[in-house]
Amino acid sequence: MNFKKFVFVPVAFAAAFAAQSAFAVDVPGPLVDPAWLNAHLNDVKVLQVSGPMKDFTTAPEIKDVNGKKVAVNVSGHVPGASFVDFKAIRVEREIDGKKVKDMIPDKAAFEKLVQAWGVNKGQAIVIVPKGLSTPDVDKATRLYWQLKYYGQDNMAILNGGMAQWLADGMMAATDAPSVTAGDWVATAERKNILATYQDVKRAVEHPGSAEFADARPSNQYMGVFTKPKERSGHLPNAKNV
C-alpha cells in the first residue's frame, strides 16, 4: 500500500509539471521584438488589438522600396493571434452616482472577456497594436494596464506592432478567428495603480504631492477639441506626454 503511494505521487507530480511547463516562458520585458515573438509563438498567447475585424482577415500589401520591405497596407495578423475588439474593453460604469464612459470592466466581466480570447491561467501574453500611430499605442497600453490591474504580470507589447512585424519579413495570417475559451483568472484587483476621483482631487489641492501625465492628444489637452467630453482642457500643472 505504501509502495503504491510512493509510485503514484511522482507520476502525478510529473503530470502537473508537464502541464505547467507548457506555459513556462517568461517575457524578457514590457516590450518584445518581432524576432522574439516569432521564436515563441507556441509559448505565448497573442492578443491583437489593431483595428476592425476586416483588417484582421485581410492580407497586407507589401512593397519593396530600395531593397527594404514596406507595408503599404498594414493588415492581417500574427499567426495564432486572437482578435480583440477595443470597444469591448471599455465600458460605462456608475461612479459616485454618475455614469462614466470608457471605464475598466468589473472583475467578473473582464475575466470572462479574457477567457473568450483563449487565454489560459499561467500563460504569457503578447499584445499586438497596429503600430502606425499614437492611438494604436494607446490601445495596446490600455489593454496592458487593465490586465495588470487584474493580476497579469507575464506579458509584453510587440515593439512596433503589426507594422514592424511585417517590415521584418514575418508571416501574416488572414484566417478568421476560431478560439477555444481559456481558463484565465483575474487573480487580483490592484486598486493602488488606479487613481480615483478623490485621489486626483487631493493631489490638485496639494500641489507638488503628485505629478500628472496627460496622455491625451494635444488638441484635447489644450481644450481645442472638446467632444464628446463634458469639459475641456487639463488638470493644473499636468504635462502632456
Local confidence band at 122 (pLDDT 50, 70, 90 cut-offs): very high
Q: Decide if pLDDT at 20 tops 70.
A: no
Residue 160: which of 35, 8, 57 has the closest Cα?
Answer: 35
Q: Please compute the mean of the pLDDT values over residues 218-227 and round it to a whole number.
A: 83
Q: Residue 7 carries which DSSP code?
A: H
* Gap between the Cα atoms of 198 and 200, Å rounded: 5
* Gap between the Cα atoms of 69 and 226, Å rounded: 39
Q: Which pLDDT belongs to residue 64?
A: 81
Predicted confidence (pLDDT) per residue in 72-84, tens digit: 889 999 999 999 9
Alpha-carbon dihedral angle through residues 49, 54, 59, 64, given to the nearest 10 degrees: -70
* Gap between the Cα atoms of 120 and 115, Å rounded: 7
Decide if 77 contacts 173 (C-beta within 8 A): yes
> Beta-strand (E) ranges in 66-218?
68-73, 82-83, 91-95, 98-103, 124-128, 155-158, 213-214
Q: Please compute the mean of the pLDDT values over residues 192-205 and round it to a whole number.
A: 91
What average pLDDT does the chain have?
Answer: 87
CATH fold label, 24-190: Oxidized Rhodanese; domain 1 (3.40.250)
Q: Which pLDDT belongs to residue 95?
A: 82
Domain boundaries, the chain: 24-190, 195-241
Minimum mean pLDDT range among 10-14, 45-49, 117-121: 10-14
Q: Would strands 124-128 and 44-48 be described as parallel, antiparallel, or unpaired?
A: parallel
Q: Which pLDDT belongs to residue 2?
A: 41
Residue 124: which of 144, 104, 106, 98 has the closest Cα?
Answer: 144
User: Cα 74 from chain centroid?
Assistant: 19
Residue 37: which of 160, 185, 151, 180 has the closest Cα?
Answer: 160
CA distances from 25 to 45, 146, 154 (A): 11, 21, 9
Local confidence band at 22 (pLDDT 50, 70, 90 cut-offs): low
- φ/ψ of residue 181, rounded to 5: -55, 140
Predicted confidence (pLDDT) per residue in 165-182, tens digit: 999 999 999 998 889 999
User: Cα 136 from chain centroid?
Assistant: 11
